[in-house]
Structure 1
Amino acid sequence: MIVPQFGVGTFRLTGDTVIHSVKTALEVGYRAVDTAQIYGNEAEVGQAIDESQVNRADIFLTTKIWTENYAADKLIPSLKDSLIKLRTDAVNLTLIHWPAPALGVNIPELMGHLLEAKKQGLTEYIGVSNFNIELTQQAIDHIGLENIATNQIELSPYLQNQNLVNYLQANNIDVTSYMTLAYGKVLQDPTLLNIAAEHQVTSTQVTTAQIALAWALQKGYAIIPSSTQREHLISNLKAQDIHLTPEQMQAIATLDRNAREVNPPELAPVWDI
């Protein structure tokens, strides 16, 4: 994989909250950080990385281009502005945040602009986010499969999107899962509670969050859960130590209900069923 399997997300975190979250995450062992232009926190993420004890070279940093910057004369200048905010000469990964077909976005043209940013050394890798199969294929056809590092998509036990996942993995495109806990909705799921209980050993608590994250890791996804609390950041990391049995993975597979948490009509594509 190009994308590290475990990173920290910063969606909906701003100001001192995101600075504290990112600094704490780096302190306890995270080495990948995900942000975006629209989050309004790139400057704070850059500050947190700069003030941390971890070298920038050891961190995989991702940002995403927002729709208002898709035009040929805006994409590269906007990314350069992001780099200033993030206090870095280049990010490791830059994604197109949403395909926005309702806005008349030309995907081949857009991907060409993003590839030019890569050629200019502003970003090590490029990719997409929230693309369906058809639009991902358009991107591949225009700039080449070798230039699509990942598709960052919403995935959780309640939204497993298996057709898109199968397509991406067949093409060796990294699958990055966001909203893996479905805004916390999966945390009280009886099936996940039962599996967590089955993994309970002595006094070490196993949480449903760890089970959901372990499921995603075992499916081969990169994950970017966020938290503002040190204990939760540490707990999430421990999902890497959990191995689910084939029976437990199958039990989680039955939870799929195509329950999407993020689906802005002006930005989202027609989703694969």
Structure 2
Amino acid sequence: MTIPTVTLNDGNDIPQLGYGVFKVPPADTERAVSEALEVGYRHIDTAAVYGNEAGVGAAIASSGLSRGDLYVTTKLWNDRHDGEEPHAAIRESLDKLRLDAVDLYLVHWPTPAADNYVHAWEKMIEIQDAGHTRSIGVSNHLVAHLERIVDATGVVPAVNQIELHPAYQQREITDWAAGKGVKIEAWGPLGQGKYDLFGAEPVASAASAHGKTPAQVVLRWHLQHGFIVFPKSVRRERLEENRDVFDFDLSDAEVAAIDALDSGDGSGRVSAHPDEVH
């Protein structure tokens, strides 16, 4: 089944399910991405700091797929925000990816202690204007960061890629994004295995009811909320399982029950707080 797309606020379309290569070892990346493309993924999410852009580029080059059939995202790392560094960084990423342009370029973290994320966002706008990326967005930005960059430039990000899973739904950010037409991309969509998400009663019950795995149920929950999601795996059978989420729908009651897994107090976060990453 074809992976659906969603339309961003700049008019570009993005596949709603992709393959993320966070923590995929550089030596394994070409194989893993090649298998993902063979399985049917067409959206690859990488980042300069992952150290595996070259492997992504090699897999794309050997895939035989036309550039227009692929969606590629990479990200600007924290030590490249100042001066003209963002322009140098995107050129380096494009060289490693063997591409003339990416589809989406993101500011990876706001690094508020350095107080240079507004400058980074201004440079992202220039990078888009120069044709090095079709769309620009941010990652791990809280509402205060988002409001500041929009107030300074008048340009609203196309996406915000954030930690998001049933125990940590970041509703302040998702509500803000919905009001501004910003699409949410969920990283760590399965909670990175750091809590018993699959054993949670609403997830387990829905899996049983639909004849699906708990992971498939959680990915379906993301999709029905309109989130863009890219689970990571280096195993072909898991790649296939994660893609097989378009032949069933969770009921409104099932979605609501999974929604209720978030305590609302922020305790479900399993990774770093954006104000503490520099």
Q: Common fold, TM-score beyond 0.5?
A: yes
State the one-letter code of the partner of 1:17.
D
Amino acid in structure 1 at the alignment position of 2:239: L
Q: Which moved more, 1:190-199 or 1:88-97?
A: 190-199
Aligned with 1:153: secondary structure?
A: strand
CA distance in 2, matches of 1:93, 1:77: 16
Match of 2:231 among 211, 225, 228: 225
Instruction: Identify if the C-alpha distance between structure 1 residues 264 and 246 changes in structure 2 by more than 3 Å, giving closer, same or farther.
Output: closer
Task: Answer whether contact 1:11 1:226 (CA < 8 A) is retained.
Answer: yes
In 2, are the aligned partners of 1:14 and 1:44 still within 8 Å (CA)?
no
- Show the counterpart of 1:167: 176
> Residue 107 of structure 1 contacts residue 138 of structure 1 at CA under 8 Å; is this kept in 2?
no
Q: How does 1:1-273 map to 2 (within 5 A)?
A: 1-2=7-8, 3-102=14-113, 104-145=114-155, 147-184=156-193, 185=195, 186-200=197-211, 206-257=212-263, 258=266, 259-263=268-272, 267-268=276-277
Measured in 1, the distance between the counterparts of 2:64 and 2:269 equals 37
Mapped contact 1:178–1:224 kept (Cα < 8 A):
yes
User: Are the aligned partners of 1:111 and 1:142 in contact in 2 as well (CA < 8 Å)?
Assistant: no
Distance 2:38 2:274 in 1: 38
| Greater mean deviation of Cα atoms: 1-10 or 32-41 | 1-10
- Which residue pairs with 2:11 in the alignment? none
C-alpha displacement of 1:267: 4.3
* C-alpha deviation, 1:77, in angstroms: 0.6
> Which aligned segments of 4 or more residues in structure 1 are displaced greater than 4 angstroms?
264-269
Unaligned runs of 5+ in 2: 1-6, 9-13
Please list the CA deviations of residues 224-249 of structure 1 after superposition, one character each: whole Å capped at 9, or x if unmatched.
Answer: 11111111111111122221101101
Q: Distance in 2 between matches of 1:209 and 1:260?
A: 18
Cα RMSD for the two superposed structures: 1.6
- For residues 15-45 of structure 1, what are the alpha-carbon distances to aligned partners after superposition, in whole Å with 9 as ceiling and x for unaligned? 3322121111111111100000110000111
Equivalent position amino acid for 2:172 in 1: N
Conservation of the 8 A alpha-carbon contact between 2:26 and 2:51: no
Q: Deviations over 1:148-195 (max 9, x none)?
A: 110000100111111210110111111111100001232232321111
Percentage of pairs with the same residue: 35
Separation in structure 1 between the aligned mates of residue 251 and residue 67 of structure 2, nearest angstrom? 37
Find the residue that maps to 1:93 and give its secondary structure: strand
Secondary structure, counterpart of 1:43 in structure 2: helix
Where 1:188 maps in the other structure, the secondary structure is coil
Whether the 8 Å CA contact 1:27–1:53 is kept in 2: the answer is no
In 1, Cα distance between equivalents of 2:161 and 2:101 = 20
**Number of equivalent positions:** 262
1:184-217 deviations in Å (ceiling 9; x for gaps):
23223232111100112xxxxx100000000000
Q: 1:118-173: per-residue Cα shift (whole Å, max 9, x none)?
A: 1111111101000011111112223334x511000010011111121011011111
- With normalisation by structure 1, the TM-score equals 0.91
Q: Would the aligned equivalents of 2:110 and 2:274 in 1 still touch at CA under 8 Å? A: no
Gaps of 5+ in 1: 201-205
Distance in 1, matches of 2:64 and 2:277, equals: 38
